[in-house]
Chains A and B, each alone.
Chain A
Amino acid sequence: MTTVSPPVAGQQANPLAEGLERVPIRPTTLTIFGATGDLSRRKLLPALYNLAHEGALPERFNLIGSSRSDMPHGDFREMAREAIRQFSRRKPDEKVLAALIDHARFVPGSFDDPDVYDEIAKIEDELDADAGISFNRVFYLSTAPMFFPVIVTKLGEHGLNEKPGAEVRVVIEKPIGTDLAEAKQLNRDVLEVLEERQVFRIDHYLGKETVQNMLAFRFANGLFEPIWNRNYVDHVQITASEDLGIGGRAGYYDSAGALRDLVQNHMLQLLTLLCMEPPTSFSADDVRDEKVKVLHAIHAPDPATVDEMAVRAQYGPGVVGGEHVPGYLEEEGVPPDSKTPTYVALRLEVDNWRWAGVPIYLRTGKRLPRKVTEIAVTLKPVPHLAFDQEGSVGVQPNQIVLGVQPNEGVTISLGAKIPGSRMRIRPVNMEFLYGTSFMSESPEAYERLITDAMRGDATLFTRNDEVEAQWTICDPILAGWDAQDGAVPQYEAGTAGPEEADGLLGPGERWRAL
């Protein structure tokens, strides 16, 4: 990851940047497509405000919004101010808010309208001329996925994809396709106009401090790496559960489902960070090279035998947190014959020297007992036990649990002697919690990712081959399910998921309690 301003060809690095905690970001004009949409209002605009509040935006920064809503600049500014007041993690300082928003511009129009791009180009040229400099340009595609290729193509047609003396970058939100073919097509469309180094595919999980801490945990400690392999690890469980249902997102969710929504991107990212080899350096490509190798080492399943390694299900009616909730098929906007899974469990294996034979279980679902995202690494049991376990829970295999949310930290379970005259053992926990060990609050993932994109550091973004490798694993599973007749199995809302998921586990293994 970048630590100092990169030297410009023929120039030395900026000597004033050395030693600063916050590395300078070049003057930037950020254009958000879909600027009046939900993601922009809830995440992007508040993230920009918090960066402005902390003095973390570029020294000179311009904001342009564009969407299909027809409104004058003033209305867009008022909408942005209200969104920030409503969703910012801190109460805004009105003077900072004014400094950020008062000069924001808005370009209305549909994303295939050439006038939109002419107007954006005109505004950007004016901003450059006024300042007497060439601003870097970042285009943030916060739109429905179908517009990604449209916008990128139009950027190319209007010459907005490159600029002498400045950098042009494009940030693309997930999903990158709904299957491998779509992902490849989108990557082709994008790379016809842009170079890969200009493309920043967001997976906001990678912006979370606890996810980044996996790299520190693994590669900054001598304690864990020696046991981080098939000789010591029995199995791994990666869980991303939610107690909520689909809310008002039936339109999106029913076309996506749990595999596309969480497994293909976030959960496979967690898996790769857990299993990757130490990179040569923490540069964007060295880190992503190692992650891609992990994905390539996971054999794509055969659609005909998908049930041997994958379980899907939908939540039925049930009780969550004391409240009766409807089943998925009764949710508003969901077709009554929908086969979209709200729960997915997988058993994957990373067939390489380090991990061969170690099952890696992935589990995600909605309307489960509680919201938790964690990775649990279970070690093999000790080879011989000389203790009498009578009268105690007994010795359990050690577990290392990396908590992503809501408890951010690391827990290691150990066997310890119960005080008393007998040698009885029970598991105890050794915990590191972010809240007790660091004074600082984790910034929102989007704050980190937006600054990284403006800085040009792609380490925490997904590369094209990485996305395609993720789909190579998920596509056959979807194909296998699509070929199956009959209804999708149901699980009662508020329970830990379908019993069928237990069938994926090996002898003596069980899912961690949620």
Chain B
Amino acid sequence: MDFGLKDKVALVTGAGSPIGFGRATVLTLAKEGCDIIANDINGEEAEQAAAEVRALGRRAIAVKADVTKSAEVNDMVKKGLAEFGKIDILVNNAGHAFGHGPFAEQDEDDWDKDINLNLKAAMLCSKAVLPNMLERNWGKIINISSGAAKRGGPFVEAYGAAKSGVGGFTKSLAISVAAQGINVNCIAPAIAVTNFIGGKMTPGVERMIEEIPQKRATVPQDVANMVAFLASDVSSHVVGQMYSVDGGSTVTS
């Protein structure tokens, strides 16, 4: 199916990790014809992502930025607009769970880090790109939530709260801008063997996979495919939804 994404410009945060959702997303969008602004806090890896996009024949720039800092976010968006003249698609993919161990022993700092990266960053980036989208009455914002938003998990209180927050943010922003031609949706993946879990399969993760109806972990391509669908006009009637891409692991919630 033609997704009609040729010559669209997509900003993807957290696109650096070679084994992450963001990297698969930029490559998939590039294959569909998008030019890419590849963001990461790790500048070198962002450059690698941009180079891989260019190897596919699309334009790309890498922007190193900490998406929890509004000055860096605004600067990133300025650079993107200077290079491409527009931003059609924003994928708020950067995320991580910092808090570990029993809740009572977690630091307040862990809480702030989780909320800032997983929730506040989505707000900052959306705010920064929206004026350009509103000017043109066309835009797609795709937030990455998590199965943790739906069913929770041990020791990820702040992360779960942030990812639930992403769901709520998605709904309200979606309602605010739907009539202006902008779609806002989010995706809730299951566990995946990315940097999120140290990039390695562990016995704990194997047990989690055993409980998934499909008996497999989410792979970055699963998420990238859903992003491409939601970024296209093929799904233009989908508004404010949280799509689980998780092999059925949250059908109970």
A and B held together in a complex:
no
Chain B residues close to A by CB (< 8 Å): none
Instruction: Using CB atoms and an 8 Å cutoff, list the residues of chain A in contact with chain B.
Output: none
